[in-house]
Chains A and B, each alone.
Chain A
């Protein structure tokens, strides 16, 4: 069985899990940013890797990606992707200043992005692991701020044995009483041996 063979029922299940994870993430983000944050029902996308640009439809070509490893009953990696503009907005809120250029982002800025990525990863991962009955634990993320197509294609080439489909959870976090929102993409990149474990767990649903 492959990722692209998942049925609607299974996808709905994952969507529900992602929804719970998104809710947890929104609560944690509200506390961290000291702003009311709401999350919309996430969308699940499964698409061939060469369609990445089209499906993710980021505003610019530059994005921030936080890569974490996950361990436990399955192993692999998570990639949280944020558009460049959204990332600057986020750092701006956290550090309470306006950021217009990447060069203005210092260690503190990178560290705050890591923290947010950590919240997103852990929230989604814990919801998904509860849903699948698998124990999954994330590591501390590393941050790559670059052309997003390079980031994503390299992540898949480096860490999968030729996996050609991307599994992505897209969520929108909205800051209440403002026009600002954050669009986040969580890409799940399981190791090839673990993928069958995950799919098996999904198949039992």
Chain B
């Protein structure tokens, strides 16, 4: 099998590509990566957002609410069919659990919650996830089959 062309999704950014590529992102602590995949067209995209709510800023991809919407728009521009799109979610860790007075209000938890709400509002099915915990993750989203490979120093490797 030939090695897929790797495209890095920087923190607070979005990338969309087709089946010859793999989308990679790292530094996923309390941040969340959401992947959208159109299995029929082997078309996929990823957003790596850092906060749940956009206070009105221009960098839409940094926030769950505007970022996921923008990712969906970009997928549709590439002719993805909304009914064929499925989502996966990774990240939202609480890196400093012992220091948090209130776990529910942590950025990680809020990022996960908001991401799920936005997907639900957009009518996109969340098929699998690897979220929470107290460790950072690296993500590789393979567009030939839509599989998401997760690597972490503490929890090892996982495929969702």
Contacts and interface: CB of A to CB of B under 8 A. Distances in A.
Interface of A: 50, 53, 61-62, 67, 69, 77, 102, 142, 144-147, 149-151, 153-155, 157-158
Contact of B50 (A67, A145, A146, A157): A157
Nearest to B91: A150
Given A157-B107, A158-B95, A149 B27 contact: yes
Interface of B: 10-12, 26-31, 50-51, 93, 95-96, 98-100, 106-108, 134-138, 152-154
Contacts of A50: 10-12
Contact of B95 (A53, A77, A155): A155
A142 B96 contact: yes
A140 to B, nearest CB: 10
Contacts of A157: 29-31, 50-51, 107
A69 B101 CA distance: 13
A145 B100 CA distance: 17
A158 B26 contact: no
Given A69-B99, A154-B95, 15 more contacts: A50-B10, A144-B96, A147-B26, A147-B137, A149-B29, A150-B31, A150-B93, A151-B29, A153-B29, A154-B31, A154-B93, A154-B136, A157-B29, A157-B107, A158-B106
B98 A142 contact: yes
B30 A154 contact: yes
Given A50-B11, A157-B51, A150 B99 contact: no
B99 A149 contact: no
Nearest to A50: B11
Contact of B136 (A67, A69, A77, A150): A150
A158 B107 contact: yes
Nearest to B134: A144
A151 B95 contact: yes
B98 to A, nearest CB: 5
A146 B135 contact: yes
A144 B132 CA distance: 15
Contacts of B136: 146-147, 149-151, 154
Given A151-B136, A153-B50, A146 B95 contact: yes
Contacts of A69: 99
9 A-B pairs with the lowest CB-CB distances in the bound complex, closest first: A150-B136, A150-B29, A149-B27, A154-B29, A147-B136, A154-B95, A154-B30, A142-B98, A146-B136
A182 B154 CA distance: 24
A153 B26 contact: no
A157 B106 CA distance: 9
Nearest to B108: A154
Contacts of A53: 27
A117 to B, nearest CB: 14
Contacts of B153: 62, 102, 145-147
B26 A149 contact: yes
